[in-house]
Amino acid sequence: MTGNLTHNLRSDARDNRDRIMAVAREAFAAEGLDVPMREIARRAEVGPATLYRRFPTKEALVVEAFSEQMAVCTAAVDEGLADPDPWRGFCGTVERICLLHVLDRGFSAAFTTAYPHAIDFAAVRDRAFRSLAELIRRAKATGRLRADFSVDDMVLFLMASGGVRAGTPAAARRFVTLFLEGAARPCPGSAVGRQ
């Protein structure tokens, strides 16, 4: 009898955790990171104590909620680095990352500014930024990317992409196109080149 009770409790706890994660991901993606913990508990149909027992801080919940997206983002940068054409690799990475950020408002905030002290998340994010810096260096070496382009410009781009409404991949692709045209090395004699 005790064995069955323990197994059921573990199953219930796992179900609660799965519901919390599903609700948190959905809420953060649609509404950003400002969704209160109590609201997440309510939507997941668990008590606040259950939520806080699993995730003692909002930072812990955010880090767990975005672990998969962080892996996808890191993989996008790695794919760009693996491309033998650095400019094409850079452009593809920008598009993949932009789509990920546009479709998930919370991830964009978590990736660019929020929760910088979450150790696991910060370490993975720092690795992604180091890889991105290398991708940028390679794209510059082709002469196709502006010489003054930096990782900070990518952060600015990702922050701006948050303004593109979630669920609109076509708008995200247009935004990427405009961004890449601006990031490309200006033609000599153009108005942009004279500024």
**Same domain (yes/no): 60, 71:** no
**Same domain (yes/no): 51, 73:** no
The reported pLDDT for the residue numbered 190 is: 42
The reported pLDDT for the residue numbered 194 is: 37
The reported pLDDT for the residue numbered 191 is: 44
The reported pLDDT for the residue numbered 71 is: 83
Alpha-carbon span 104 to 100, nearest angstrom? 6
Task: Name the β-bridge partners of 184.
Answer: 145
37-43 long-range CB contacts below 8 Å, 24 or more apart?
A: 37/61
**Same domain (yes/no): 171, 116:** yes
**Same domain (yes/no): 60, 72:** no
Our count of domains for the chain comes to 2
Phi-psi region of 45 (alpha: psi -120 to 50; beta: other; left: phi over 0): left
Q: Residue 193 domain-assigned?
A: no
Most confident option among 59-73, 74-88, 162-176 = 74-88
**Same domain (yes/no): 73, 37:** no
Best CA proximity match to 30, nearest among 103, 117, 119: 103
For the segment 19-39, the average pLDDT, to the nearest whole number, is 88
Model pLDDT for residues 104-138, shown as the tens digit of each residue: 667 766 666 555 555 466 677 788 889 999 999 99
Best CA proximity match to 162, nearest among 104, 78, 87, 119: 104
Alpha-carbon span 157 to 151, nearest angstrom? 10
Question: What is the domain extent for residue 94?
Answer: 67-186
Considering just the CA atoms, what is the radius of gyration of the chain in Å?
Answer: 20
